[in-house]
Amino acid sequence: MPRSKYYTSDEVSAHNSADDLWVSFVGKVWDLTPLVREHRGDILLLPIIECAGKDISHWFDPKTKDILTHVDPVTSCVKYFTPRGRFLHVPPPRPRSDWDNDFGRPWWRDPRYEVGYLTAKSRWVRVVNTLTSQEQLLEVCSEEKLEEVQQRYVRYNAHASSYTWKHAGTPLLMDLTLVENGVPDEDPDMDRCRLDRDLFTPAICLYFNDDLTEL
């Protein structure tokens, strides 16, 4: 099975319209564009569209992965808690004859919309091509293996796999993460010392192997 992809918050926030709508919640990233397209014009889509590109974990119970509930002060019944307004697949607060619950799984439990995981922490690295002296600043996910970081770099260099990747003169293993390769994330130390983390970004140096290939 292919490894699930991790995304940064900035990558999720780029999908912030009704025609291209992603959200994240409880550590996962969801592409709700097909859902919006299927139910276009439904007023119950409004709270979802308003949160396009954002994290909506506060809508959910982290243990059950279901919508938060509360006790209705009028009926004393347990109901979904939707302070932004009722949204698609959430039942109405009172019984209604026009409520059609024959939709299968609610969208927040439908794996068809899952596209990957939201990174617990993103970090910046400098990728330096020693052949051309070009340097690229990349925001990557801390959980990503180096081969996945390489995939992010391909947009800047289609021959990224033709290089040996090194840090501090040591070749890096592509099936390990940056930390596992000995490239620590020093952001917490910088924050603790009240230093600007942008002042120091670890560098990964690329050395050409003279065997030009493309990914």
**CA distance linking residue 204 with residue 202, whole number of Å:** 7
Q: Average pLDDT of the chain?
A: 92
Arithmetic mean of pLDDT, 173-199:
89
More confident residue, 188 or 110: 110
Arithmetic mean of pLDDT, 148-176:
95
Whole-prediction pTM value?
0.86
